[in-house]
Amino acid sequence: MAHAPDVLICEVGPRDGLQNLDVFVPTKAKCALIDTIAAAGMREIDAGSFVPPKVVPQFADVDAVMAHALAHKTATIGALVPNVKGAERAIAAGVDAVYFVISASETHNRANVRRSIEEQLDGFRAVRAAIDACPADRRPHLMGAIATSFGCSLEGEVSEAAVCRVAHAFVEAGADEIGLADTVGYATPKLIRQIVEAVRREVGSQMTLRLHLHDTLGAGLANAVAGLDAGIRRFDAAVSGLGGCPFAPGARGNIVTEDLVFMLERMGLSTGIDLDRLMQTREILARHIPAKHLTGHLHEAGIPKVLRRAA
């Protein structure tokens, strides 16, 4: 069995990175992207979302893409679901993990899924019940993500108490893991430490926490280091910094996976990811996505030769 990395990165480019693009990425290209990510040694891949095509046209081919992704047995293959219907589709597809999002900001939650926080919590409970109805060996991991944990473009500041209320509800409803998302990229290192520590006090040390960071204001990697200092060892990131939030116009996407991997490895923390192979994802993306959507310091500067062996 391969040695477990010090830090686990979930690659969210195939789902969060593509969902808001105004261009449809061909199914073949999505599958090639997932193949390259898996070949680089990624342990977890957010491969798509089970939503109606009229809502998110990018995932009209999610069944085909997910079937292809699940052929990669070395990685946990997950999917975002907005409700129990989506969860039922994901379970039928055989996904390894289900991701369900509730915003700490009431306004953002209504804008994002057209439901109140309480209504969305009822949806999460229904998803938990659907998973529990499966045979024990076929139950996917269930992660409850808290969007706008560090600020909201619609409401502004989000209180620590609001984040902790959702975290507590997730635990009571049976979440296997909780994700804290800087959905619009307003976090600072100080705020990362504050919210992580508050949520940990609320839910207990036995609950696994992860961070989902965006780089809207250029603080993404600094916030990742703050997360490390607060004990986080699971992070979401997207190749070439894909992504963004429709409720934060002009916002940059997720933190760049390539840059995060390089930084962590240079800090002496193993990720289990082959950076050279991961860099090859840019070629696939560049054939289908406008350059304005692709970022990354390593892609601009190249991996320094003197550091390549260490990276």
The reported pTM is 0.96
Give the pLDDT confidence score for residue 311 in this predicted structure: 44
> What is the distance between the alpha carbons of residues 135 and 24, in angstroms, rounded to a whole number?
36
Closest CA to 33 of 304, 294, 308, 300: 294
Closest CA to 221 of 189, 195, 191: 189
CA angle, residues 228, 234, 238, in degrees to nearest 5 = 105
Domain range summary for the chain, segments of one domain joined by +: 8-308
Q: In whole angstroms, how far apart are CA 132 and each of 70, 76, 88, 176? A: 21, 19, 12, 12
Closest CA to 35 of 83, 79, 68: 68
Give the pLDDT confidence score for residue 250 in this predicted structure: 64
245 is catalytic: yes
Token pair belonging to 26: 């061909």
165 Cβ partners below 8 Å, 6+ apart? 104
Give the pLDDT confidence score for residue 244 in this predicted structure: 81
Please name the residue that has the structure tokens 């992207």. 33
Closest CA to 158 of 222, 101, 106, 224: 106
> What is the distance between the alpha carbons of residues 189 and 221, in angstroms, rounded to a whole number?
9
Q: Which residues of the chain are under the pLDDT cut of 70? A: 1-2, 247-251, 306-311
Please name the residue that has the structure tokens 């998302």. 181
Name the burial class of residue 7, with classes exposed (0-12), middle (13-18) and buried (19+) by CB atoms within 10 angstroms of its CB: buried
Give the model confidence (pLDDT) of 191-238 as tens digits: 999 999 999 999 999 999 999 999 999 999 999 999 999 999 999 999
Q: How many residues does the chain have?
A: 311
Give the pLDDT confidence score for residue 307 in this predicted structure: 58
Identity of the amino acid at 152 = C
Within 13 Å and on the Cβ side, how many CA atoms surround 86?
25
CATH code at 8-308: 3.20.20.70
